[in-house]
Amino acid sequence: MVSTISAFWERALGVDGLMPEENFFDLGGDSLVAAKILALIQREYGIEAELRLIFDNPTIEEFVDAVGEELAAAPQRGAGA
């Protein structure tokens, strides 16, 4: 998941070779870029994360952990089908 999310950040921010400790805001991130990243997360993992998720977890490392928690809390796809 780390490499996928890092690739999303790189794509949305237009930066290559990001490290897990890099900060979204230091890289020039704003609400529009965050919305792009969250759209990619939704498409890939099927969760609708709120914008604050990236603002509250501004490093890739923190954000990956937060997305993992969101995935764990989300109902499983196809459950009960």
Q: What is the mean pLDDT of each run of 10 residues along the chain (81 residues)?
A: 94 95 96 96 93 96 95 68 41
Number of H helices, E strands in the chain: 4, 0
Residue 52: strand, helix, or coil: helix
Cβ 7 vs Cβ 43: under 8 Å: no
Please, what is the angle between helix 31-45 and helix 2-13, to 10°?
Answer: 140
Cβ 34 vs Cβ 54: under 8 Å: yes
Q: Give the model's pLDDT for residue 75.
A: 74
pTM for the full predicted model: 0.85
Tell me the CA distances in angstroms from 40 to 79, 80, 81, one per residue in order: 23, 26, 25
